[in-house]
């Protein structure tokens, strides 16, 4: 879940949360007290909106705090105290502001304050105090291969709130623990704070350390990086910069909004004019190393209520050939058939998680790109070129 993401219409109440039912306003309520409640109840997110009490996301569900609805004055008092004068100016000028907030003894939070129906609202994501390992995140072992590349482009796709940033942080921290490299991140805002291990890490926050994303990109390649995290790939300029950096010997990580690994190639090309497609295809074919796509699913383990399903598409010789030849429609088929290079499409991932009893059949079928094929896979039936096996 992310800044500004809509929440369900009927969140349940939370008898265990602080502040019992009240009448009228409670001016003494402070935003840091809500942050402390997030940490105490292991909430991943906090939503603040006029007409609702504070709403927490706990174990994937939205939970109302037992208090009266917030007024516009309440939300203004809660949120404006978080903002510097510059951030207030940005909020007034463009209607939203992204930033991070650290609270001593409580943790670090990624905040998005925005206007909704003329009043202030907010979505706050609690950032884990320590970067978790692959094992702690229940990521597949193949994710670790991305930390071994010396050069190239690695992309992580998925919707907002699917854990993309956390997975990339785990990969970067793996590099940090094993290699003597200079890692530069460009973030808006900084989420996880890395501690130098074998690597030297410089994290640059947009608006704080550098004026804007374009300036950060231009300067990054002059700062002697070995590994770069460029954040969200939103436009052609960002992708061209990432590809140029990959071509010149850097390992580059970025995120992209896409529905699946195989669809990412088309999503990238859509950012460019048709006369540049052949050039971009060539660069992708030779520099793209892996495309991941991640979803967070309800887990059967009460101790870990959510588990990532990670589609992995390594750029194998076959996929490289298809990219070069413009056979994008066949990329998904090549991904599904790969059994030697660590690739897994979503149906394979879901079938594996179901066999491992980590998700229910209902959960798997609800998000499966091809539910009928998944049902057959769960029964041990597969489809080959010659038919059903």
pLDDT at 12 over 80: no
Give the start-to-end residue ranges of the domains of the chain.
Answer: 12-127, 134-344
pLDDT at 380 over 90: no
pLDDT at 214 over 50: yes
pLDDT in tens, 223-258: 999 999 998 888 999 999 999 999 999 999 999 988
Q: How far apart are CA 59 and CA 302, in angstroms?
A: 9
Q: Assess contact for 23 and 75: CB atoms under 8 A.
A: no
pLDDT in tens, 304-332: 889 999 999 999 999 999 999 999 999 99
Q: How confident is the model at residue 377 (pLDDT cuts 50, 70, 90)?
A: confident
Average pLDDT, rounded, for the chain: 88
Give the CATH H-level superfamily of domain 134-344. Answer: P-loop containing nucleotide triphosphate hydrolases (3.40.50.300)
pLDDT in tens, 128-171: 878 999 999 999 999 999 999 999 999 999 987 788 999 999 99
What is the model's pLDDT at position 335?
Answer: 95
- Counting every residue, how long is the chain? 389
What is the model's pLDDT at position 293?
Answer: 96
Q: How far apart are CA 312 and CA 194, in angstroms?
A: 25
Token pair in block for residue 127: 């950032």
pLDDT at 7 over 90: no
Pairing outcome for strands 152-157 and 251-256 = parallel
* CATH 3.30.450.90, applies to 12-127: yes
Structure-model confidence comparison of residues 348 and 8, the more confident one:
348
Q: Assess contact for 101 and 32: CB atoms under 8 A.
A: no
Closest by CA to 179, choosing from 149, 153, 204, is 149
β-strand partners of 111 = 99, 124
Q: How confident is the model at residue 75 (pLDDT cuts 50, 70, 90)?
A: very high
pLDDT at 69 over 90: yes
Closest by CA to 171, choosing from 135, 141, 204, 143, is 143
- What percent of the chain shows pLDDT beyond 90? 67
What's the average model confidence in pLDDT over 325-347? 93
What is the model's pLDDT at position 328?
Answer: 93
Q: How confident is the model at residue 1 (pLDDT cuts 50, 70, 90)?
A: very low
pLDDT at 8 over 50: no
What is the model's pLDDT at position 10?
Answer: 44
pLDDT at 303 over 90: no
pLDDT at 40 over 80: yes
Does 134-344 match 12-127 at the fold level?
Answer: no
Q: How confident is the model at residue 107 (pLDDT cuts 50, 70, 90)?
A: confident
pLDDT at 61 over 60: yes
What is the model's pLDDT at position 387?
Answer: 42
User: Please, what's the b/e burial string for 335-364 (b: 16 or more CB within 10 A of its CB; e: otherwise)?
Assistant: bbebeebbbbbbbbbbbbbbeeebbeeebb
Token pair in block for residue 317: 């010789």
pLDDT at 117 over 60: yes
Please tell me the number of Cα atoms within 13 Å of 127 on its side-chain side.
24
């Amino acid at each position: 879940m992310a800044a500004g993401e809509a929440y369900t219409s009927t969140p349940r109440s939370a008898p265990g949360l602080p502040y019992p039912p009240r009448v009228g306003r409670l001016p003494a309520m402070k935003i840091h007290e809500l942050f402390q409640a997030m940490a105490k109840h292991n909430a991943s997110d906090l939503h603040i909106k006029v007409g609702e009490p504070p709403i927490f996301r706990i174990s994937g569900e939205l939970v109302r705090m037992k208090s009266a609805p917030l007024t516009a004055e309440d939300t203004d008092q809660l949120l404006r105290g978080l903002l510097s004068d510059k951030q207030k100016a940005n909020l007034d000028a463009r209607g939203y502001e992204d930033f991070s907030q650290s609270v001593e003894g409580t943790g670090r939070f990624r905040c998005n304050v925005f206007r909704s129906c003329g009043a202030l609202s907010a979505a706050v994501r609690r950032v884990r105090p320590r970067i978790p390992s692959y094992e702690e995140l229940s990521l597949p072992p193949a994710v670790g291969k991305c930390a071994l590349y010396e050069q190239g482009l690695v992309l992580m796709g998925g919707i907002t709130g699917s854990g993309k940033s956390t997975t990339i942080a785990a990969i970067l921290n793996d590099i940090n623990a094993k290699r003597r490299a200079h890692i530069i991140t460009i973030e808006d805002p900084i989420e996880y704070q890395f501690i130098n291990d074998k690597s030297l890490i410089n994290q640059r926050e947009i608006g704080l350390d550098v004026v804007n994303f374009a300036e950060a990109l231009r300067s990054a390649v002059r700062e002697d990086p070995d590994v770069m995290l460029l954040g969200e790939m939103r436009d052609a300029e960002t992708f061209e910069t990432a590809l140029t950096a990959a071509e010149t010997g850097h390992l580059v990580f970025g995120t992209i909004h896409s529905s699946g690994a195989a669809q990412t190639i088309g999503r990238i090309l859509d950012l460019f004019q048709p006369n540049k497609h052949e050039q971009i295809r060539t660069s992708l074919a030779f520099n793209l190393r892996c495309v991941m796509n991640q979803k967070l699913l309800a887990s059967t383990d009460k101790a870990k209520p959510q588990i990532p399903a990670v589609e992995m598409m390594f750029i194998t010789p076959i996929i490289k050939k298809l990219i070069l030849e413009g056979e994008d429609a066949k990329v998904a088929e090549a991904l599904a058939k790969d059994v030697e290079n660590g690739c897994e499409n979503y149906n394979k991932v879901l079938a594996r998680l179901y066999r491992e009893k980590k998700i229910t059949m209902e959960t798997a079928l609800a998000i499966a790109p091809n539910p009928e094929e998944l049902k057959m896979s769960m029964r041990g039936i597969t489809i080959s070129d010659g038919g059903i096996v």
